[in-house]
Amino acid sequence: VTRVDAPTALRISPASMTLVVGDERPVQVQDEYGQAAPTGLTWATDDALIAEVEDRPEGPTVVGRGIGSTDITASIGGLAQSV
């Protein structure tokens, strides 16, 4: 018998980042067991003029758009994590 627990937390890697305008950085989302987050993640940014996430075939990528700081959040179901 294999026990499968539903995830109760998300983890985004890297946990923080510094980008200049035009920089792109791939991000990974895992659950607390180190497994890749399920498909269907929703991404949100507090300020898309500073940075946003693009869903690409190779995975989500944060793109620096302007000067400043902002939080980017991955969520699915009732789980969410920000960087």
Residue 83: CA atoms inside 13 Å, Cβ hemisphere, count? Answer: 22
The dihedral formed by the CA atoms of 58, 34, 83 and 55, expressed in degrees to the nearest 10: 20
pLDDT at 66 over 80: yes
pLDDT of residue 1: 47
Token pair 């959040």: residue: 73
Per residue in 20-62, pLDDT (tens digit) is 999 999 999 998 888 887 778 899 999 999 999 999 999 899 9
Alpha helices in 1-83 (DSSP H): none
Confidence (pTM): 0.83
